Amino acid sequence: MKITAALESDSGMFIMEELDLEDPRNDEVLVKVAACGVCHTDMVMRGRHYLLGHETSGTVVKSGKKVRAFKPGDRVVVAYTYCGKCSACKDDRTYECDCIHHFFGGERPDGSTPFSLSGRQVFPLMRQGGFSTYTVCHEKALTRAVGALDLKSLAPVGCGVMTGAGSVMNYLKPEKGKPLAVFGTGAVGLSAVLAAGICGCNPVIAVDKISTRLSMACEFGATHCINTGEVEDIAASVRDICGGIDYGFDTSGNRLLLESLRPALNKGGKACGVGIGGSINFSNKERNDGKTWGSPDTGWSVPQKFIPYLLSLQEEGKFPFEKMIHFYPFNQINQAFKDAEEGRTIKPVLVME
């Protein structure tokens, strides 16, 4: 079928193109896209000729012959694809699936893609292809949409929101009443702030240089905010609040923030990060002090379990992630990217229908 998708032109701007989309194979599903969020990874992966967009929500139009869990009309959220067959998948650690790196580039196991432009193959990043009117996804990428929110508000749950909340709830697993700080409060960091509040952390410290993000962090339950543009020593500012943190989460990948997290962390402290290219190598002394660092991909989330849980929290009013969304019509994709890059919006979501 013919679909409309946003691809990057040679000048780097997105333009709307008419693509061909194959019918779903046995284990795939055709989804009419309702909306798709713009994630930081989309910005990083520009200029590489992928069909971007991996925070998709939509409605199932057609299921492959062997798909049992989804039928036409089902409302779904799309997350990452996993094989369901390797030892990690069988052990409920789908986020460590042997095939994830393979799926990242958008290829099916045989190297093909359902998308093409004038006969040339187009690969959808992470096998989603959300910046289009329709997409064909693997059934394992889908989670049924539940709860009170409309479909377009659900788009970012499958990547940014799940990753931020999961890094706290599934990886750090903070003890109630202990201090936690989030370094970098974009959509991932703000989801982590919400999760830290639900876990009962105290204080919850938000660190960023953009004041609008910090105000949202306060609205989301942060007890303290540190504007990095207004303080000399970030680690000292953290210690002034509570003497040091037991849990730290970095979403920025920024060297200054990572080097501030290191001395702010208490003995026995647990820290992690998802910022691209940013990690901490603790010294022997720090390791002897029990400080640990991890990079929990996707926030160690099993989408089909974690997303319904987050949406139930949303319905109870405890997880109002939709407040950080700013909607754009699909044809304003260039503006959405510009606003995100310049920090004017926290979570742009493109609306296709």
Q: Which of 331, 320, 333 is nearest to 38 (CA)?
A: 333
159 near Zn ion, rule: CB under 5 A: yes
Site string for Zn ion, 29-58 (x = CB under 5 A): ----------x-x-----------------
Site residues (CB under 5 A) for Zn ion, limited to 202-231: none
| Cis peptide bond prior to 203, omega within 30° of 0 | yes
302 near Zn ion, rule: CB under 5 A: no
CA 32, CA 45: separation in Å to the nearest integer?
24
How far is residue 243 from each of residues 156, 173, 180, 203, 240, measured CA to CA in Å? 35, 21, 12, 11, 6
83 near Zn ion, rule: CB under 5 A: yes
The DSSP 8-state label assigned to residue 32 in this structure reads: E
Contact with Zn ion (CB under 5 A) among 89, 194, 216, 324: 89
CA 174, CA 197: separation in Å to the nearest integer?
10
155 near Zn ion, rule: CB under 5 A: no
Please tell me the count of residues contacting Zn ion according to CB under 5 A. Answer: 8
How far is residue 72 from each of residues 68, 75, 80, 239, 325, measured CA to CA in Å? 11, 9, 21, 54, 27
Task: Name the β-bridge partners of 347.
Answer: 325
**Nearest distance from C-beta of residue 85 to Zn ion, angstroms:** 6
Stretch that binds Zn ion, among 23-31, 61-69, 92-100, 283-291 (CB under 5 A): 92-100
125 near Zn ion, rule: CB under 5 A: no
The secondary structure element, H or E, covering residue 140 is none
97 near Zn ion, rule: CB under 5 A: yes
Which residues have C-beta within 8 Å of that of residue 240, sequence separation ≥ 6? none
Which residue lies nearer to Zn ion by CB, 109 or 243? 109
**Nearest distance from C-beta of residue 187 to Zn ion, angstroms:** 9
Stretch that binds Zn ion, among 115-123, 144-152, 153-161, 335-343 (CB under 5 A): 153-161
Alpha helix (H) ranges present in 31-91? 40-44, 87-90
**Nearest distance from C-beta of residue 54 to Zn ion, angstroms:** 5
Stretch that binds Zn ion, among 12-20, 95-103, 143-151, 342-350 (CB under 5 A): 95-103
Q: Cβ(140)–Cβ(81) under 8 Å? A: yes
Which residue lies nearer to Zn ion by CB, 41 or 185? 41
Q: Is 267 exposed, middle or buried (0-12, 13-18, 19+ CB in 10 A)?
A: exposed
The residue assigned the tokens 């970030």 is 234
**Nearest distance from C-beta of residue 82 to Zn ion, angstroms:** 5
Contact with Zn ion (CB under 5 A) among 16, 86, 146, 231: 86
**Nearest distance from C-beta of residue 189 to Zn ion, angstroms:** 13
Stretch that binds Zn ion, among 156-164, 165-173, 275-283, 343-351 (CB under 5 A): 156-164
**Nearest distance from C-beta of residue 314 to Zn ion, angstroms:** 19
Stretch that binds Zn ion, among 74-82, 250-258, 294-302, 319-327 (CB under 5 A): 74-82
Phi, then psi, of 113 in degrees rounded to 5: -140, 145
Q: Which of 239, 225, 244 is nearest to 185 (CA)?
A: 225
79 near Zn ion, rule: CB under 5 A: no
**Nearest distance from C-beta of residue 324 to Zn ion, angstroms:** 14
Which residue lies nearer to Zn ion by CB, 107 or 289? 107
User: What residue ranges bind Zn ion (CB under 5 A)?
Assistant: 39, 41, 82-83, 86, 89, 97, 159
